[in-house]
């Protein structure tokens, strides 16, 4: 190979390196989605969201009104509005539904029968609410690490999800603070549903 050809080859390699390093441009912005997170007091909403945000567990305080967290993922940012789950707050939940693009419902799979019945009623109300009924739902059966935890199949049957949520976009997943990979995977599935809904809106 002539000296000219060798020089041209090196110059082209330098050009490619320059483009890769200097002309790449900023990465595309991640889409952001506004979600509402509901569930009874003690279901673990605050702890799960704080863990996803890498916050110190010592600073976790149960939400009494509402709080907003930006939960970052590789392909999206979820702006989650968490609503307190006490008796005197749940009646105001619907005031905060407007503008939501998805719903996270957290239930304590190891709770008492009375609390589980209350959680079922609240989930049924949310699934049928006019501002939420067309949105993707991520239903988290939390506290799977506790001995009294019901399985996902038990929760699905008790909550009557198959007949009630037929035709809706929903995911039911087990979770606990001890298995963050599974929790992140659950949120990745929710993000997929949110993206699908976005694409449908564009086609319309």
Which residues fall in the annotated binding site for GTP? Answer: 39-46, 85, 142-145
> Distance between CA atoms of 33 and 54, rounded to whole angstroms?
19
| Positions at the binding site | 39-46, 63, 85, 142-145
Q: What is the largest CA-CA distance in the chain?
A: 85
Binding residues for Mg(2+): 46, 63
Please give the Cα distance from 23 to 18 (Å, whole number). Answer: 7
Gap between the Cα atoms of 139 and 66, Å rounded: 19
Q: How far apart are CA 119 and CA 100, in angstroms?
A: 20
Would strands 77-83 and 66-72 be described as parallel, antiparallel, or unpaired? antiparallel
Tokens coding 128: 């049928």
Closest CA to 57 of 46, 65, 67: 46
* 109: nearest Cα among 157, 50, 169: 157
Residue 84 tokens, joined: 């307190």
* Sign of the CA dihedral running 144, 145, 146, 151: positive
């Amino acid at each position: 190979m002539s000296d000219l050809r060798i020089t041209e080859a090196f110059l082209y390699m330098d050009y490619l390196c320059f483009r890769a390093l200097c002309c790449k441009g900023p990465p595309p912005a991640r889409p952001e989605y506004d979600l509402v997170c509901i569930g009874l007091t003690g279901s673990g909403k605050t702890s799960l969201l704080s863990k996803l945000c890498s916050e110190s567990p010592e600073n976790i305080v149960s939400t009494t009104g509402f709080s907003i967290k930006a939960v970052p993922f590789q392909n999206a940012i979820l702006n989650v509005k968490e609503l307190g789950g006490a008796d005197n707050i749940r009646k105001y939940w619907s005031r905060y539904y407007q503008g939501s693009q998805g719903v996270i419902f957290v239930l304590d799979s190891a709770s008492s029968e009375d609390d589980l019945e209350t959680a079922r009623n609240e989930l049924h109300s949310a699934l049928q609410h006019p501002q939420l009924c067309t949105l993707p739902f991520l239903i988290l059966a939390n506290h799977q690490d506790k001995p009294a935890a019901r399985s996902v199949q038990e929760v699905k049957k008790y909550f009557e999800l198959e007949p009630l949520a037929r035709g809706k976009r929903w995911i039911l997943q087990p979770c606990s603070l001890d298995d963050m990979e599974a929790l992140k995977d659950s949120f990745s599935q929710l993000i997929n549903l949110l993206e699908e809904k976005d694409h449908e809106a564009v086609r319309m």
